[in-house]
Amino acid sequence: MLLLFLSALIAISPLATDVYLPAMPAMAADLGTDIGQLGFTISTYFLGLSVGQLLGGSVSDQVGRKRCAVVGLALFCAVSILIMMSTSILYIQFLRVFQALGGGFASVVAMPMLRDVYPAREAARKIPVVMSVMMLAPMVAPALGSLILMIHWRAIFGFLSVYSLVLLLVYLFFIPETSKNPRQRLTLKNIGPNYWRVLCHKSDGRLIAVRYLLCNAFGTSVLMVFITNASFTYIEYFGVSAEQFPLLFGVNVVAAIFFNLLTLYLMKSVDPQRILKWVTVIHTILSIFLVLLVISGQAVFVAVVPLVVLIIGLGAVVSPCVSAMVYPYFRRLTGSVASLMAASVFLLGSMLGYLSGLFFDGSLLPLVLCMLIGSLMCVVLAHSIPFATLHSLAESKVSEGL
């Protein structure tokens, strides 16, 4: 039950970003704006989510996972209701920041809870399982959004409020606190130093952990940029209908789940760092080819869509590999590590998504260039990290600075 609950908890943000993608044209028409402004509601959500994740992990290390997530779910539920009643695009963009803060506080505790309950190596093996179940959310969300859209786009945010309320009740009555001896009071002065310890952590005199965090952030931000522009790419640029959109979007999710499960299988016998280095090279080559395709004027549907599917699928390998490598460095700061990992992903995703919107010209070029930036930075960082096995990390006596 715990793994299922954690999957549902961590899925709250994919649902919040993907469930209304098919409804964006209808929302734009109803609110008297364009789809570009609706795209900014995704970027602002990523921005708020980065802050929520950043604060939430350290808070959960101090006062416990349950208190942190309960507050987050309550905030998410309340703001979802306000968005449902909103009539201004600017107001929705503003509210999405606070909805994301709640989602960040709630979802950031999932990985630390795994580390609380399971030993390092077993937790590393269960991460892809949770991620795979969680990835069903982006596949189901657009189809669900299309169905709810038959009622009204506002009903989509009503659904999000109900979803978060159910999670809140389940957590309150059925899931115990997993953090060992959490404090009764929150000390804000510890938040900054905890993150500083993670960022400044060294192995053999080298900053290794922060490189993994940045590698994960840039690699996963490619997906964030695509999500921000998915509605435009499929519905506006390629002329796909709102009913067909969930199917095409879902292919990307299926690819991500497939590669995630493949990673789980390969990690049983192959070092995750070796997987990471090879995958990032292939990922970058495909991203470069996609850019060249767009620049050459050959960005047709049958060429772009398969390339995007492969890029998104391979990008899903980065996070479980990095998680398997970085968590063994830390024992008592897992919440802070999870916060930094998630916050950096959404912060970079927000920045690159905003950048693609800032230079929006009605073509796919801003999108694919921003995806390439994330891919290039990911491969450079991955190959800057000295090789080390998961076993040696788990057995090392590296201090956390505590």
Q: Which CATH architecture has domain 2-170+191-395?
A: Up-down Bundle (1.20)
How many CB atoms neighbour CB 398 within 10 A? 16
Q: What is the pLDDT of residue 389?
A: 45
Q: Is the pLDDT of residue 354 over 50?
A: yes
Q: Is the pLDDT of residue 45 over 70?
A: yes
Q: Is the pLDDT of residue 16 over 90?
A: yes
- What are the residue boundaries of the structural domains of the chain, listed by start? 2-170+191-395
Rounded CA separation 249/232 (Å): 12
Q: In this structure, what are the phi and psi dihedrals at residue 206, rounded to the nearest 5 degrees?
A: -120, 145
Rounded CA separation 116/110 (Å): 10
Q: What is the pLDDT of residue 256?
A: 85
- Read off the pLDDT band of 156 (50, 70, 90): very high
Rounded CA separation 373/391 (Å): 32
Q: What is the pLDDT of residue 331?
A: 67
Instruction: Provide the H-helix boundaries in 296-333.
Output: 301-315, 318-326
Q: What is the pLDDT of residue 54?
A: 82
Q: Is the pLDDT of residue 399 over 70?
A: no
Q: What is the pLDDT of residue 284?
A: 95
Q: H or E stretch including 220?
A: helix 209-231
Residue 345's contacts (CB-CB under 8 Å, 6 or more residues apart) are 50, 216, 217, 220, 221, 224
Q: What DSSP designation does 386 have?
A: P
Average pLDDT over residues 140-153: 91
- Read off the pLDDT band of 400 (50, 70, 90): very low
Coarse DSSP helix, strand, coil percentages of the chain, rounded to the nearest 5 percent: 80, 0, 20
Across the chain, which distance is largest between two alpha carbons, in Å? 60
State what percent of residues in the chain have pLDDT above 90.
Answer: 36
pLDDT in tens, 276-326: 999 999 999 999 999 999 999 898 999 999 999 999 999 989 988 888 888
Rounded CA separation 205/222 (Å): 31
- Amino acid 59 reads V
Please give the angle made by the CA atoms of 379, 385 and 390, to the nearest 5 degrees.
110
